[in-house]
Structure 1
Amino acid sequence: MYKTAALVLVLGLAGVLEALIPRSEGSWGVNLSAPEMIQSFGYPVEVHHVATRDGYILELHRIPYGLSLGGYRDRPVALLYHGLYGSSADWILNKADQALAYIMADEGYDVWLANARGNRYSRAHQTLDPRDIDFWDFSWDEIAEFDLPATIDYVLPTTGARDLFYVGFSMGTTVFFAMLSEHPEYNDKIRAMAALAPVAYQGNARGLVSTVAPFINQLDKKLTSMGVGEIFPNNELTRSWAMKLCDRNSLLAVFCRKILATIGGPNPDELNRDLLATITAHTPAGTSVHSVTHFGQLITSDGFYKFDHGPHGNLRRYGQRQPPSYDLSQVRIPVAIFAGENDYLADPRDVELTERELPNVVQTTTLASFSHMDFTWAVHAYDYVYRHVLDFFWNYRN
């Protein structure tokens, strides 16, 4: 009886919200895939698939050339890797003159956009089904160990390049650091790295995530015991609600903005409200519960560790009771760091700890007002970040 009453109440509230929310004419890009959005701006796009050693099928999106310099020819290769809840769309959701994928294509780069296992575009496996919890038995450890090396080893022979430029945002930096710690031979395949909102140490994280982090292991066990392996999936329903709730004309759009600020930090002047529904329709893009848990573990620790399976699980997996640390000293390629003072997830104090251990940081830029999400969505992303990324890479193009 109580369950029925609760269901009626939820449905009733949903009906009230539906009535309160104005009918939107539809926000641009909400129902388009990343390749379709790229095409809509007139850029060429290719879809590629690569299999990892443990059987996941990853989808890569390529912009081989830009509008200003058309045609295939020798170009430096750039690989862009998204954050925890993101996808290849992270790099194309902004206006064309503020979205890094288009900017780099027009600057003469062969641009590749990665998609980690489990997100909207990489939900395939050679034997496992996403409806099976075994599909979701991974954290970002596995993304670093399998996904990123497989992606690099596919992109380089496909393009004929010896090495590539790398741009990582948030988790895209985490998995890069972890990969080179375990496989330092990949330093030879990277020319330079731009680290946007880098995340390794996270003990000073603020906001909503720091409140939840102390309970993250219990939440992980509870969800796993219930057969839940995926968190924040991206589907037609979530995209529909994003358009209804976060459209600029919605009465509830203020809550969308508040949620983003609570998670990543406030910077209202840099959020394009016209694109908010598009942003929230594509992000979150889906990931595993364990990946979220892994970052929660970093927040409650003082190091940069592999996934903590508990003392007994660690003994089985690592041969020791504590998870091993990643070694940032193995990241030998030139690194440029871009951080934000208002970033709740990559706090400047944690970024400084990371910078101290990286042996070849050649430039650090800290932006006074930037929050976490601004590095991909900011109104002035080009002026504050991307033109400096291009200048940094230019020093290593020849």
Structure 2
Amino acid sequence: MEETKTFRLAVIPGDGIGKEVIAAGLQVLDHIAEESGGRFAFEKDTFPWGCEYYLEHGKMMDEDGVEKMKGYDAIYFGAVGFPGVPDHVSLWGLRLAICQGLDQWANVRPIEFLPGVPRRLNHPDVDTLNWVLVRENSEGEYSGIGGRNFAGRGPGKEVAVQSALFTEHGCERIIRFAFELARTRKRKRVLSVTKSNAQQYGMVLWDEVFARVSKEYPDVEAEQGLVDAVAAHFVLRPEELEVVVASNLFADILSDLGSALAGSLGLAPSANLDPERKAPSMFESVHGSAPDIAGQGIANPIGSIASAAMMLSHLGLEEEAEQLNRAIAETTRQGIMTRDIGGTHDTAGVTEAIIRNLAAVKATE
């Protein structure tokens, strides 16, 4: 009998509804492992890091937290943020600390228009829309370079400086990643997004690197756009989008726009990847911790479960990942959805439906 492959997962539920959607995702992963016939299993360690941990310990995670993560095959992350802890403290103290500490430099955020979800976009073929945002995840506007000064000079005198960092190396590796991803898709097209007319140093460097790298991919259509025009593009000509690559800030904003157009941030998965696999990658839904509905059992688990599908794919379980994505689509097609997208089901009901539909998907293969 073939030996069981065990994947070690570091689980960080985080705050608010993060705990609920991560529990739903783990329920689905455990079911998939049980149905594998012993081919693989998941060994999970849960870390209680987040805002409650901060309020008790004065820090969002253990001092050696990033080092602890290095022994795992993947990280499964819930959400971060809760009243009483400033957002910049919670974000920089946990999620960004892990992403930057492990050099998870490629953030991938697929945008899919699932069947049955109420339309937020007036487009004749909305069900055919499918694109992916590739976000530079290690530098750019989220480099954390800057400071505040002159507060001692009196009210209204303080100065804050926030600098964006663009390196040729950082630009090239994320742009090349986007072109390689485009080669795996039916329509081979990459749109690069900057604001180089106004930001004449870092983003001009990005544009120049994009132009240079694109010459190595003659089979992939390459286009460059300014972020304000591309935001309109998302609404007016979404059928032209395929792979969109941008800096940390711009891809962050555009991916939320895309997810909202697709129905809800609660549907959107993401992956923080170290494509070189020197360190574990982290998988999380795009939505926040939503403390206003935490504990009510009504959070949308689809984003977190779809992130689990991305994790399965990253771990080499491509067939299981595809089956899970099909089960999610079948669930929304059946109208089994949470309230944020017009449904009447709770977190548990949607999760159970996805598990049921996994069996139906496998039966049709």
TM band (smaller chain): under 0.3
More strand by share: 2
TM-score under structure 1 length normalisation: 0.24
